[in-house]
Amino acid sequence: MDDHYHMQRMLASVHEQMHGKNAGTYWYAPGAVTLLDAGDQSVSAPMQFGATVAVEPRDDAVVDLRWVYRPLQSDRIRLTDLEPGTAAAREPLAVIWALQAAGHALGGAAVTVHTDVPRGVGTSMSVAIACATGFSLRNCYRLDVSDESMFEIVCAGLQAFEVPGVTIGAVAASILACDGEAIALDRAPSRLPFGIAHAGMRLLVVDTGVRRDLPPEQPVAGTSELDGVRVALERNDFREFGAIMTRSHDAGSTSIEQQVAATAALSAGAFGARATVDGAGRPIVVLVPAAEVATVRRAVAAAYADRGWRQPRFLTSSTVETARAA
């Protein structure tokens, strides 16, 4: 039996222990990574690390939010008290508020969250949690909400609750992208071909271990670069796309750990590398041929060891499981 089966059984068991009954709905949504950012324009791709959210409807107008890996943490709040600025900036609470604000009636919910990896490592787990929550609620309450509307609702909730380190592009990638696609955001989301697995490429996320309370501005690329991205991806030219990624990396606005990791990765054969922000985390994302992943990892690890830094964490992504019922 695969890891997903065991994870779902564990989530079901934890949900029943915490809430006293089985969940009616389980939904998975992938995390995402920002590959290029030009302010109001961006390119993001889903990752193969995500979140699964179990939901059981309640009829007492109460939200009871629990976390698999934080069993002592409980957020319990009445729907009437759920407002930005008064409730904690938890992703599921933000989405529940946004659904109600959009006119969808909810009676309450027992919610349990499982994530593949922690927040801040570079895979937008906050986005994955929010999107999986939205889909679970849509399913268990049979809400008439299209994927495109869910994208707008999730964005509205995360922005209203000021959940840190999330981007609109990452939300679009988690909700709207299929395997082998990236999402370009330019006034409205559009799909781009991004068949890295078929092309023998991988996305390597390097969690530098750096955490900052206040996120800096994302390094940005000029709008002309986004036009180049479309051309490169339509031609399946990942070497050119990697070069565009690297040009968007702003060494002046990154941590020294990000800069060292990006330089080492490029020197070891990566096609592209850029710094990014994931909540408090300061990771980098690297585009690398599959055959060179181990070499790039060793190079980055060696660069950190030479400086006496704690070793970074590596996450490699190729094929992606898109948002679906779990």
User: What is the DSSP secondary-structure string of 141-169?
Assistant: TT----HHHHHHHHHHHHHHTT-TT--HH
Judge whether 89 lies within some domain. yes
- Residue 55 and residue 148 in one domain: yes
- Residue 230 and residue 162 in one domain: no
- Residue 205 and residue 141 in one domain: no
Judge whether 323 lies within some domain. no
- Residue 25 and residue 48 in one domain: yes
CATH number for 312: 3.30.70.890
Contact 286, 256 (CB under 8 A): no
Given this model, what pLDDT does residue 6 score?
Answer: 74
- Residue 161 and residue 253 in one domain: no
| 16: Cα within 13 Å, side-chain hemisphere | 9
Given this model, what pLDDT does residue 311 score?
Answer: 97
Contact 55, 133 (CB under 8 A): yes
Given this model, what pLDDT does residue 124 score?
Answer: 95
- Residue 209 and residue 269 in one domain: yes
Average pLDDT, the chain: 91
Which of 181, 214, 230 is the endpoint of a domain? 181
Domain count, the chain: 2
For CA atoms 281, 282, 288, 290, the dihedral sign is negative
- Residue 163 and residue 258 in one domain: no
Given this model, what pLDDT does residue 252 score?
Answer: 60
Contact 120, 56 (CB under 8 A): no
| 325: Cα within 13 Å, side-chain hemisphere | 7
- Residue 204 and residue 175 in one domain: no
User: How far is CA 138 from each of CA 53, 97, 109, 208, 247, rounded to the nearest angstrom?
Assistant: 12, 13, 12, 36, 40
Given this model, what pLDDT does residue 193 score?
Answer: 96
Which of 154, 181, 208 is the endpoint of a domain? 181
Judge whether 94 lies within some domain. yes
Given this model, what pLDDT does residue 280 score?
Answer: 87
- Residue 255 and residue 298 in one domain: yes
CATH number for 155: 3.30.230.10
CA 202, distance to chain mean position in Å, is 17
The rounded average pLDDT for each run of 10 residues, N- to C-terminus, in the chain (326 residues) is: 71 90 93 86 92 96 93 88 84 97 97 93 95 97 97 97 90 94 91 95 96 60 72 96 89 84 98 92 96 99 98 92 80
Judge whether 286 lies within some domain. yes
Judge whether 188 lies within some domain. no
Judge whether 31 lies within some domain. yes
Query: pTM above 0.85?
Result: yes
> Cβ contacts of residue 165 below 8 Å, gap of 6+?
120, 124, 126, 215, 277, 278, 279, 280, 281
Judge whether 49 lies within some domain. yes
Domain of residue 245, residue span? 195-317
Cα angle for residues 169, 125, 212 (degrees, 5° grid): 90
Given this model, what pLDDT does residue 220 score?
Answer: 47
Given this model, what pLDDT does residue 2 score?
Answer: 60
- Residue 154 and residue 222 in one domain: no
- Residue 173 and residue 241 in one domain: no
Given this model, what pLDDT does residue 215 score?
Answer: 53
> 20: which 2 tokens?
């006293």
Judge whether 133 lies within some domain. yes
> 175: which 2 tokens?
């909700």
Distance (Å, whole) CA 55 – CA 187: 33
- Residue 173 and residue 200 in one domain: no
Which of 152, 181, 210 is the endpoint of a domain? 181
Given this model, what pLDDT does residue 325 score?
Answer: 83
